[in-house]
Amino acid sequence: MKVLTVVGARPQFIKAAAVSRELRERHEEVLVHTGQHYDEEMSDVFFEELGIPEPDANLGVGSDDHGAQTAEMLVGLEDLIASERPDAVLVYGDTNSTLAAAIAAAKMDPALAHVEAGLRSYNREMPEEINRVLTDHAADRLFAPSARAVENLAAEGVTDGVRDTGDVMYDAVLWARDRATDRSTVLDDLGVDPGEYVLATVHRAANTDDPDRLAAVLDALAADSREVVFPAHPRTVNRMREYGLYDEARDRLTLTDPVGYLDFVRLQDAAAVVATDSGGVQKEAFFLDTPCVTMREETEWRETVAAGWNTLVGADGEAISRALASADPPADKPQPYGDGTAAAAIVDGLDDV
């Protein structure tokens, strides 16, 4: 079988790497990069470090408004699907790259397969929520990371082609954890000790594109008594500069460029607590037994909250400070996202196409 995989943004390289290792044992894969992320530390670093082959094609789309960016990807992907004639198009998550590939594939011959199907934040203000709902409703194969994701799909009448595979990010973390401990020098490079610092990331549009929310988040992080390591997404750096928040943030936080996957896994593993608005980071913290404070009002990864390992605090400065200071998850932790063998289950699911 020929599978055309479409990736474009940082977390998709990490997820696709885990599936690709399994997929290439059994099938032919054509890997397409839309070019949504393009900086060395947002893209190339993952291809080098995760051992994924170079993309067979890069559409070089880059940054733009949602409509223009998605449309340019759609045009390029339609051409590629026509020339490559894959049996299946495989997409990940909820970015504009996911949606563009879903629209292109759904109107052409190949089956559309969606990894991370069935996630819902039930907040339609999030561009990602629109992307994931539309992709799920266009997909032929829906690989859900949890029983709850399967239930979410059923509630929308989507039951055909749905399979609970577990979460592929768990596979990725299991692959990376020991490698990161052995190889990463990031703790020494930054001069931080295990258990002594907070690790923070912020990139969600609702936080970065609102000066009051961004200022409240940065203030609350800086007020913590521990060192706060903050590998900043380029979007966030741009907004901090635009709103005049950058210099103070640089003085009060340990701001760095985005780091590679092994360094980031090491940083999460050794942090006292993680503060984030990322989807993937909430789960990775959970897999790595590090408590998480999520600076959003809701999450699509609700199992982590129900388990007591993740606290939702929005952009409320006091709530952020309180949650950071008191993070104390229960000793026992359920496993709602499978056992780290999602990649094999996904490739099994593709075999049915």
Return residues touching ligand UD1 (CB under 6 A): 9-11, 36-39, 42, 63, 94-96, 127-128, 203, 234-235, 238
**In the block, residue with structure tokens 């993952």:** 46
- What residue spans of the chain are helical by DSSP H? 10-26, 44-49, 66-84, 96-106, 127-138, 147-155, 168-183, 186-190, 205-208, 211-223, 234-242, 246-252, 261-270, 279-287, 302-306, 317-326, 342-351
Q: Which residue's entry shows tokens 């990322």?
A: 278
Query: Of ligand UD1, ligand UDP, none, which one sits near residue 14, judging by CB under 5 to 8 A according to partner kind?
Result: ligand UDP
Could you give phi then psi for residue 201, rounded to 5 degrees? -140, 145
**Would you count residue 280 as binding ligand UDP (CB under 6 A)?**
yes
Q: Measured on CA atoms in the order 146, 148, 153, 158, is the torsion positive or negative? A: positive
| Residue 53 DSSP label | P
Residue of 5, 10, 30, 310 interacting with ligand UDP (CB under 6 A):
10
Q: Which stretch binds ligand UDP (CB under 6 A): 100-108, 256-264, 304-312, 327-335?
A: 256-264
260 Cβ contact list (under 8 Å, min separation 6): 41, 45, 46, 49
Q: Which does 238 bind (CB under 5 to 8 A by kind): ligand UDP, ligand UD1, none?
A: ligand UD1
Fill in the per-residue mask, 217 to 246: x = in contact with ligand UDP (CB under 6 A), - = not in contact.
Answer: --------------x---------------
Site string for ligand UDP, 21-60 (x = CB under 6 A): ----------------------------------------
Sole window of 28-36, 60-68, 257-265, 328-336 interacting with ligand UDP (rule: CB under 6 A): 257-265
Footprint of ligand UDP on residues 118-147 (CB under 6 A)? none
Does residue 259 bind ligand UDP (CB under 6 A)? yes
Q: Which bin fits 191, alpha (ψ -120 to 50), beta or left (φ > 0)?
A: left
Catalytic residues: 203
